[in-house]
């Protein structure tokens, strides 16, 4: 897990996304609602998708090397 900035438009870090996942978010749409990440230009949506998928598959640490 890291504190990298995932959504530059809305200043949302990976830790904030992981926190939303721990609170019960199960999709990119849930993350958008909870954090506003991915609600502006949309360039971070693929990264958010990866973080969600990896978290739900039990491997959140694998996402650290994949930003952009």
Strand 5-7 versus strand 12-13 pairing type: antiparallel
Residue placing its CB nearer to ligand FES in the complex, 19 or 58: 19
The sign of the dihedral angle between the CA atoms of 59, 30, 27, 44 is: negative
Contact residues for ligand FES, defined by CB under 6 A: 7-10, 37-44
Residue placing its CB nearer to ligand FES in the complex, 29 or 58: 29
Shortest reach from residue 16's CB to ligand FES, in Å: 12
Alpha-carbon distance of 12 to 3, in angstroms, equals 9
Shortest reach from residue 58's CB to ligand FES, in Å: 25
């Amino acid at each position: 897990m890291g504190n990298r900035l995932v959504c530059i438009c809305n200043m949302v870090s990976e830790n904030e996304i992981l926190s939303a996942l721990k609170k019960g978010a199960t999709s990119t749409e849930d993350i958008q609602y909870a954090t506003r990440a991915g609600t502006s230009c949309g360039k971070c949506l693929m990264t958010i998708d990866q973080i969600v998928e990896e978290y739900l598959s039990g491997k959140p640490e694998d996402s650290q090397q994949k930003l952009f």
